[in-house]
Amino acid sequence: MKSDVIKKGVEKLPHRALLYATGIPRTEINKPFIGVATSFTDIIPGHIGMRDLERFIEKGIHTGGGYPFYFGVPGICDGIAMGHRGMHYSLPSRELIADIVETIAEAHQFDGLVLLTNCDKITPGMLMAAARVNVPAIIVTAGPMLAGHMKGRRLSLVKDTFEAIGKYQKGLISDSEIEELETCACPGAGSCQGMYTANTMACVTEALGMSLSGCSTSLAVSSKKRRIAFNSGMKIVELVKKDITPKKILTKKAFENAIKVDMALGGSTNTVLHIPAIAREAGVFVSLEMFDRISRNTPHIANMLPGGIHYLEDLEYAGGIPAVLKRLKPTLKNTLTVSGRRIYDIAHKAEVVNADVIRPIRRAYHKEGGIAVLSGSLAPDGAVVKQTAVTPKMLKFKGRACVFESEEEALKAILGGKIKSGSVVVIRYEGPKGGPGMREMLNATASIAGMGLGESVALITDGRFSGGTRGPCIGHISPEAMEGGPIAVIRDGDVIRIDIPKRKIDILLSEGEIKKRFKTWRPQNPKIKKGWLARYAALVTSASTGAVMKI
């Protein structure tokens, strides 16, 4: 076992002395040492239930014949970090999490890892670490939140809080309704209720084969989730004994399967950052072109929030990811999973309980999958949109630019009623380098929807969007403004043309005019000049390559 290096031989007497100081019994010293990384924190709703799941993972590891050692990793709630300085730290935290797990796992020579996670950047960070360290590992996602309820209708975080801000500004809802919404929308533990980034990444993790079947959609408050946590603890010991490592699971075929499931669900555009980053650690190349190719050939069969009407609890009760795999089985590769079962077996034994929540291919909600990758004179290296969350009317759009140098400037104009129908809101210098940290623009996109402009105004940015974004909102414009992409020289009044079916996004200027503008262009001074974010900005790569760090 890998841990023998810290516990075998006379020369390791001091190491054993320190291990015994932790209270480990002599009877346990020769068992597999399992590191359990937990992102428990009191401030993230998706993580507040993890203390309970930690107990069940621990029971499972002991039952399976291993010995667990817990350590913590940081977590950020993107909803709480949204719209202020805090959001600069969200995407960069993915790299910190991967580095912390690598550091602790290698320093203590764990034989295996259980990675307890849930929310947006934490799950991909854990997966990146699992691939990098490449000891047997299993992911436990802590599960989605129940829908909120108010006066007989179900509530979700994005539609009923973020979008409510715009409605309030227009006088469509009252002070008393605001107060009621803020206490009813999120009823307790769990990741936000729609197919936002946290739940999308949980589903991707299960489709990759890195969590047990049913893990991603089992609710945070359920006994099923406890059993999955227990079984994950047992299973990791088996994986150690069989030497089934992440790189044996995280193959190119597995990534193709995961992207297909993502497209079928209409998942968050953030997966276009996270999946390539995870693949890179596994030694697999995943390109923007792969996302678009798979999306063109994968029907959208689950109409989930924010673009659709179904909640994660609906997907769970309809059969979860195994049922989605059943629908997609003819197009999937028969890859290995941490359960020991292969994808075909999981799909074959699954049952679709609700054929409206998880539709058959012939009755798909859309012929193509959730994400479209656009390119053109405005985004030579690509841009990303959640096309299944765009109304048919806005799939093709031409409008005049209203340019802002930050999210705050844009939000002030939107809520101040200064954005009119026919506009394209341009928010730049919010990319990986320029942000730094590629902030999400949920406040801006939700306010456009709440102000009733969702079918007459588009938004483009070199930043990114929350999984909760809906409408013609195009992010990840690459190259970003800070790196001299064409978005840097757009001016108010320039005409921008968007054609999602043709995968095009263009600024209607001649090449000569663009070159002329660049002659006098200089990038903005860095917004943050010290600390972790300054180092991140110096090392991060383009959104088109997953915003990974240079080595």
Catalytic residue numbers, as ranges: 466
Can you give 187-218 as a three-state secondary structure string?
CCCCECCCCCHHHHHHHHHHHHCCCCCCCCCC
Per-residue b or e along 164-193, where b marks 16 or more CB atoms closer than 10 Å to that residue's CB: bbbbbbeeebeeebeebbeebbbbebbbbb
* CA gap 414, 160 in Å, rounded: 18
CA 520 to centroid of chain Cα atoms? 38
Q: Which amino acid is at 348?
A: H
For the four alpha carbons of 226, 228, 231 and 235, in that order, the dihedral sign comes to negative
Residues 6 or more apart whose CB falls under 8 angstroms from that of 25 comprise none
Q: Which of 483, 501, 459, 476 is nearest to 538 (CA)?
A: 483
Task: Note whether 194 and 154 are within 8 A (CB).
Answer: no
3-state SS class at 469: coil
Phi, psi (degrees; rounded to nearest 5) at 350: -75, 160
Supply 1's token pair: 């076992």
* CA gap 436, 526 in Å, rounded: 8
Neighbours of 295 (CB within 10 A): 25
Helix boundaries (H) for 72-184: 78-81, 90-108, 122-133, 157, 163-169, 175-184
Rounded to 5°, angle at Cα 68 from 63 and 69: 170
Rounded to 5°, angle at Cα 224 from 218 and 225: 60
Neighbours of 398 (CB within 10 A): 14
CA 351 to centroid of chain Cα atoms? 27
Place of tokens 């796992």: 105
Strands 148-150 vs 153-155: parallel, antiparallel or unpaired: antiparallel
Task: Note whether 419 and 413 are within 8 A (CB).
Answer: yes
Supply 526's token pair: 């860095």
Supply 20's token pair: 């015994």
Place of tokens 């012939």: 362
**DSSP state at residue 21:** H
